[in-house]
Amino acid sequence: MESREARGNQGQGLHAKLLASLGPAITAGDYPPGTVLRTDELEERFDVSRTVVREVIRVLESMHLVESRRRVGVTVLPAEQWNVYDPQVIRWRLAGADRPRQLRSLTVLRSAVEPVAARLAAELATAEECAELTQHALGMVATSRGQQLEGYLVHDMAFHRVVLRASRNEMFARLGDVVAEVLAGRTEHHVMFTDPDPAAVTLHVQVAEAVRARDAARAEELTREITIGAMAELDVLAPK
């Protein structure tokens, strides 16, 4: 007889499978806004229980991708209502045909936020955070050659998380997951050169130095150069 744990694991697997099908389909426009999703049709199509469908719908509701209303059903919402900062929503959108526009939108967001965060970090970062920035900047240098993009990504994401956290602005800090998804998406979908731009790597080292030296103006200026470079890469690898 199948154990309760085995049934639970199977349910979790079906939940993840259904979510991985519906989420990307909605964000890709396969279900246009206003489309009504019928739970019985989803049960039959994906061969899952009503419980699994309801759990997945609740997750999609939390992302504001759909809305459940009595006597109406589950309706797909327009993109203007989506929680576009949800890391999962970002991941799904980056996996779709709208990737270039999504990357550009997120890079503009980075351009507006990260330079200011770096200025604040130079003023407010702890000694431990300064050391973290230096550690990850050097890690980026060490993995910037020989097609080590996965190793480079680990340090790149960590570096930007520290900058945002060290700003001591809780709104900026919460964008750490968003920036991480942008960086991961660029790597995963090959919207990046085989090896990182040496100038960009150097800029990260210089930002770490500026933060440690408490040079707020220079930290902001250098970080702005990083975001300008990221946009220039998009112009080449993911044109409008």
Per-position pLDDT tens, the chain of length 240:
444 333 344 446 888 999 999 999 999 999 999 999 999 999 999 999 999 999 999 999 999 999 998 888 899 999 999 999 999 999 999 998 888 889 999 999 999 999 999 999 999 999 999 999 999 999 999 999 998 999 999 999 999 999 999 999 999 999 999 999 999 988 888 887 788 999 999 999 999 999 999 999 999 999 999 999 999 988 887 777
Query: Is residue 124 located within the same domain as residue 11?
Result: no
- The residue length of the chain stands at 240
Query: Is residue 26 located within the same domain as residue 65?
Result: yes
Distance, C-alpha 69 to centroid of its chain: 30
Give the span between the Cα atoms of 237 and 230, in whole angstroms. Answer: 10
- Residue among 104, 49, 100, 105 at smallest CA distance from 82: 105
Give residue 28's domain range: 4-81
Query: Is residue 138 located within the same domain as residue 67?
Result: no
pLDDT of residue 170: 97
pTM over the 0.75 mark: yes
Q: Are 182 and 110 in contact (CB under 8 A)?
A: yes
Token pair of 34, please? 């206003």
* CATH code of 97's domain: 1.20.120.530
- Number of structural domains (the chain) is 2
In a 3-state reduction of DSSP, which class is residue 221? helix
Burial of 118 (0-12, 13-18, 19+ CB in 10 A): buried
Query: Is residue 148 located within the same domain as residue 217?
Result: yes
pLDDT of residue 12: 63
